[in-house]
Structure formats: structure tokens, C-alpha cells
Amino acid sequence: MEHALSPATLAELRRPRPYPAVSVLTPTHRRERGSGQDPVRLRNALTEARRRLESDPAVTRERRADVEAQLDRALAEVDLTHAEDGLVIFAAPGEHQVWSLARTVPERVVLSDTFLTRNLVSAHAAERPFWVLSLSADRATLWSGGAGRVVEDHSGGFPLAHVREDFDAQRQMRVGDQPSTFRDEGTRHFLREADTAMGAVLRADPRPLYVTGEQAALSLMDEVGTGAARSAVRVRHGGLAHAGPDAVWQAVSPVLEAETRRNAASVVRELTAARGRRAYAAGVDELWQSARDGRVRLLAVEENYRTTVRETGDHLVPAESGDLDARDDIVDEIVERCLETGADVRFVPDGTLGEAHGIACVLRY
């Protein structure tokens, strides 16, 4: 199942497909908490997708058989034992994808000429993805992080290895001359290569970057790096270039928690200032219109804020899930629209926004 949504991947998902491009969305549960209902919901959603395919006169028999086969292949790839909060299946003639999301999604089946991507976009933004580059004298490892986990990533040719011809591990252990490995020209060249490779990764998929390593490695990267390393947050912790994901997560999580607190405080300050100069809006109805007009400069959303509405003329009014024309993922729609118009989207802990009740923004004008 897919987790990481890069700009290139999103562009590929959004391109037009031969009709029908089927999007199947269903909420899931982590571990044992309510997970017994997940297989039933998934089967029901796929049954509904097949029913829609069979009843649609615009879908030929051959194309229906192709898409149904893709749905079967997608189902075989679903691993509900490692489910998160939402599951999205895309199927079209000749292709399928399965996405696991760390944000809940509404139950939905959509047939169109494009895949429904707004829930992926919102989940990706809420996950606050980041990179971790772990350095040692002989290895540079890249980790993709977000939503309580890191996984090793092989973008940019990582992991990179540096083999020293005169390396003597036993002597190093006896005399403790590890710092000297960061003084030779080969190691300098190796870390410069790692910085260049990391720069290419950031250009393709910009995210906050955290660099881990012993102080000697971090200092040398500061000296030889020209781009990526200069804007990174340093985490003084050696051994992670050869470690597993759990160790990396334990090392960076305190830094991430502090960053979350600083981010929330910064958002509150910006919203307060915007209120004073009448550049503030809150609530999905007011925000939806501002998002459509491209007026939002900063959007703040509490992490678990969801609401269901329906459209009446130019306004959104509260609705119950399942009502005719109800829109269960209006928050995701607003997030996607704001990102498309260049807004800075920040997810903050629940309760941060106070009387704004979950969603607020700073307007451009």
C-alpha cells in the first residue's frame, strides 16, 4: 500500500483517464480498535463499485471486465492488519493503486475520468511530511517521515556508502580515533555528495529536513555543504545511518514535538494579528468562498476537525452524513483548494483555534 504522496505522484494521479476511473474510499481503524468492521466495509464498498460499473451504460463490457479485474488486484494488496485511518483504492483500465492514509475519509465510490485526490492531498498535508538525513563517515541514509513513523527512502540514490581504503575498524575501536575519519578528504567529498543528492530530493519533493549525526559529522556537513544542509535542523545523534526506523523515530520525535508547539503558537499569533486588521475568517461557510476565490494566505485546521455540510445557493449549511447532497469531506476540499492557490496550510493540535471551532484563516486581501 502507498503512503508517500510526492508532487510528481500527485500530478500523475490527477491526469485524465479513460472512463471509468474508479475511486473507492472507506474509513479504517488502527490495530484492534474497531478494526473488525473494516473488511465488511471494504467488501461493501467494492460491491457498490461493481454495481455502479454494471449499471452504467457508458461502460462497455470489455472495459468493465478490465476495471473489475483491477479492483480484484487492488483488494489482494490491501493489508488491514497495518491499516491507518483511511483507505483509498484507485482503479482504471490497465491500472490500480492502494493508498493507506493517516486521516479518515468518507465512505464513497466515484466514477469519473479522473481519480478523486482531495482526501490524499489533505491527509498528506495533515501528516506534515519531513525528511531525515542520517550521516556517518561511511554511510548516508534517507528517511521519509510523518504521522508517527519514519521509513527508509531510496530517492536520490540513497543510501550512499563511502568505503575508506585504509579503514581499520578494530584499530578504531582500540584507540578511539573516530573523529579523524571526518578530517580526511575522502570523507569531505562523500558528505559533499550526500548534500548534493539531498538537494535533488528536496527540489523534487520539498519538505522540512532534519540531519542527524555525531557533532563531527554535522560540523563537517556545515563546512562542505552548499545547499540542503544549510537550511536543515540539526539533531546531534550518531549511529542512525546504520539504525532501524524505530531508533530514528525516537531520536527525532522530541524535536518534532517542539516544532509542533512552535508552529501552533506561530499560527495563533498570525490569526490574532489578522483579526486586528480585518484579514481574518473562520468557519467552513466563510472559508469555502474565500478558498474558491483564492483569497486565503494561511489556512489553519485542527488535526481532527471534520464536519458535514450541504450547499444551498452560495452558502454551506450543516448536514447529517447520508443526507441528500451531503459533503462529508468539505474540510479536505478547502485544504486542497487552498494548496492549489498557494496558501500556507498548517494543521495544529485540537483546541488550538478556540472559538474558531476547528478552522480559520488569514486572508490575502
pLDDT above 90: residue 163 = no
**pTM, two decimal places:** 0.83
Tell me the per-residue pLDDT of 183-201, one tens digit each, with 9 for 90 and over.
678 889 999 999 999 999 9
Reported residue count of the chain is 365
pLDDT above 90: residue 336 = yes
Compute φ and ψ for 101, nearest 5 degrees: -120, 145
In the chain, the N- to C-terminal Cα span, in Å, equals: 41
Tell me the per-residue pLDDT of 221-230, one tens digit each, with 9 for 90 and over.
988 887 777 7
Rounded Cα distance between 85 and 123, Å, is 10
Q: HSE on the CB side for 356, CA within 13 Å?
A: 26
Beta strand 139-146 pairing with 130-135: antiparallel
Could you give the residue ranges of the DSSP H alpha helices within the chain? 7-14, 38-55, 61-77, 118-127, 169-175, 185-204, 215-224, 245-276, 284-292, 330-340
174-203 b/e (C-beta count within 10 Å ≥ 16 → b): eeeeeeebbeeebbeebbbebbebbbebbe
Rounded Cα distance between 88 and 42, Å, is 10
Mean pLDDT of 81-97: 94
Rounded Cα distance between 345 and 335, Å, is 7
Mean pLDDT of 81-107: 94
Of the chain, the percentage scoring pLDDT greater than 90 comes to 77
